[in-house]
A = this chain, B = another copy of it.
């Protein structure tokens, strides 16, 4: 299953579309020179194309399995992980104090995109560790940082996130896992956690679990949750893995996809843990980590979309059926060409949104300016939801392009759909992303969105002289989104929530139009043709979506669940 990392596209978007030069111009990221970026992308592409992509199929066909309490991993995954770790890729964006490279999140996002396209099941392992590194950097004590960060950054140890319990999924506040102080500064953690990605692996020396739990007498709900670091093996005085902690993998889930990524049910039975952050401050610490993980998951969707698109294009370029012009392959049929071009156009839009979000994160960190932080916060749910929805939709279309072959597992294209399907669910379902967008991220009265729309409209105005028709469509769409936003922020939450998902998608459509228009101005060739395709054929969807938004919650509860059940 050949896969080519989209370095040209990523480089183009960074340099010409989302303003990465501003990041490189900051003192904090002064090392991210064009030469460094080029070297990073080139080396990452070698890893992804030559080492990771060849593992993807075996991860699916030889799932991770639990044997006598140890998770045996898929063939080649150990070697793949070693290559990731030895290349220093886990610590790409981590702080240099503990072995990280300190490079921008924009490059980390590009790496996540490429690694996900190559082998999503394995990429999840370093992604989770990256999240743990960020949480520890922000909230852990100096002793914990000194001990754990170098080992996590080097890939000697790996990290997991333990949020979910059977009764506490999207509603994290309902969790029951307990943390009892032992008197020596540690805590005894007891409870069951589910959906623990890479909860164990036979090729990693120690697994470090970040566990949300409740102190005795903690307040109910999210205000009574604290965060604990609970390693599989307790470090001895030299910092090496010592005594086995009181935790175990109960079982692995049998999933639709991502078979190479072990998803564990974890049992903690008085396991020793160290608090990270403050008492009852667990949610704040978790959110630090989740916001960036959400962008990472968006990048997963985009990476899988890229891989599925490449596979579909290759098949369509080879397969001969019927009276097609040109090469005689089905890529010459109008409907197949329409599908492939739409896939390509949406991957570009989703990737540009994700990289723009990453640039905003970097600028926020480098400059401390609140506008950048607000921009990053605003774009994160859009990047996550649109990236993963695009992953699913493009994988669906890739199956369709393959016709009957798409339904045969050996073809490999169905795996993309099975693997990527969960990305719209984990790290907060896309419905929750949309609620986050219209509530929390618009608690500023829509200010961050309006500032973004100002930029979109200004850019469209500037494009009118060269591309009047396209510029006008983008400008009008932005104006429609502005009106819809003005209406939305004046509504009570129920009305916002009822239209949240269509609103988020409409915003992504408009931003996609904005970034395509920028690309079209740079190059009067394929990129302009792709932009024209997107702006004339895909962007119009925003109006239908905003029509849904405008209804609010009106009539939504007129049917009871019993009414819906009539059959």
Contact = CB atoms under 8 A, between A and B. Distances in A.
Interface of A: 4-9, 164, 167-171, 173-174, 194-195, 253-257, 306, 310, 313, 316-317, 320-322, 327, 329, 331, 333-341, 344, 392, 396, 399-400, 403-404, 406-410, 414, 417-418, 421-422, 424-426, 429-431, 434-435, 494, 497-498, 500-501, 525-526, 529-530, 532-533, 536-538, 540-544, 547-548, 551, 553-559, 561, 563-567
Given A8-B566, A306-B567, A526-B566, A498 B409 contact: no
Contact of A564 (B173, B341, B410, B542): B341
A94 to B, nearest CB: 28
14 contacts: A9-B566, A168-B321, A169-B403, A169-B404, A170-B321, A253-B407, A255-B407, A344-B564, A404-B425, A407-B421, A537-B547, A540-B544, A541-B541, A543-B544
Contacts of A255: 407-409
The 3 closest A-B pairs by CB, nearest first: A529-B558, A526-B563, A334-B497
B195 A404 contact: yes
B553 A334 contact: yes
Contact of A422 (B407, B526, B530, B551): B407
Given A404-B164, A501-B338, A555 B543 contact: no
Nearest to A3: B567
Contacts of A525: 563
Contacts of A500: 334-335
B335 A567 contact: no
A165 to B, nearest CB: 11
A251 to B, nearest CB: 11
Given A254-B409, A256-B414, 4 more contacts: A194-B404, A254-B408, A341-B564, A418-B418
A555 B541 contact: no
Contacts of A168: 321
B400 A425 contact: yes
B407 A7 contact: no
Given A399-B421, A400-B425, A544-B543, A327 B561 contact: yes
A561 B317 contact: yes
A567 B8 contact: yes
A556 B7 contact: no
A422 to B, nearest CB: 4
Given A335-B434, A434-B335, A537-B551, A409 B256 contact: yes
A338 B532 contact: no
Interface centre among A168, A174, A418, A558 (most CB of B within 10 A): A558
Contacts of A422: 404, 407
Contact of A253 (B9, B408, B435, B529): B408
A329 B561 CA distance: 10
Contacts of A306: 567
A327 B557 CA distance: 13
Given A334-B497, A335-B434, A501-B335, A559 B169 contact: no
B334 A556 contact: yes
A277 to B, nearest CB: 24
A567 B170 contact: no
B403 A336 contact: no
A253 B409 CA distance: 8
Contacts of A408: 253-256
A423 B99 CA distance: 52
Contacts of A555: 529, 532-533, 536
A407 B429 CA distance: 12
B431 A400 contact: yes
Given A310-B567, A421-B399, A566-B9, A530 B559 contact: yes
A174 to B, nearest CB: 7
A331 to B, nearest CB: 5
A558 to B, nearest CB: 4
B530 A170 contact: no
Given A533-B555, A567-B6, A567-B9, A333 B403 contact: no
Contacts of A429: 400, 403
Nearest to A331: B561
A567 B9 CA distance: 5
A270 to B, nearest CB: 27
A111 B240 CA distance: 66
A194 B408 CA distance: 12
Contact of A313 (B331, B417, B553, B564): B564
Contacts of A497: 333-335
Nearest to A322: B171
Contacts of A403: 169-170, 425, 429
